[in-house]
Structure 1
Amino acid sequence: MKMVDEVVLKNATETAWSVYRARHPDVDPQDNRRCLLERHLPRRGEERESDTEELAGFGIAYLHRFFGDGC
């Protein structure tokens, strides 16, 4: 399996988390969902060639799919 560049992964996580929190301002910055996001994105990046924007998109979709608006 291919490893995801750490900088790409960090930037994608920050972007996805920022977008999610902007849409859900009641979510605490240290919410457990961030930890789940941090575990999810490396697996996505290993599955295929990914860049920051693509991984961030996967992260945003993941958060919305599993936590939606009713979190």
Structure 2
Amino acid sequence: MCEIKVGSVTNAQRGAKALRRMGIKATLSRIENPSASDGCGFVLRVNCNDVDTAVDLLRKNGIRIVGTVEK
């Protein structure tokens, strides 16, 4: 699984909904010990095969991406 770090919990919720509408399975989770660079500490977990498409879709929907991590 890959994690897409987002800027706020609201963006995480909106992003998960947008990804699901486009057929990408996404789950919303909280980072256990977020650092200052992790934003709000929420991530969207998606299959790593879908991460590039997911990031593009999120950006097109105005969701601020803080970073991505493969877990």
TM-score range, shorter chain: 0.3 to 0.5
Whose Rg is larger? 1
More strand by share: 2
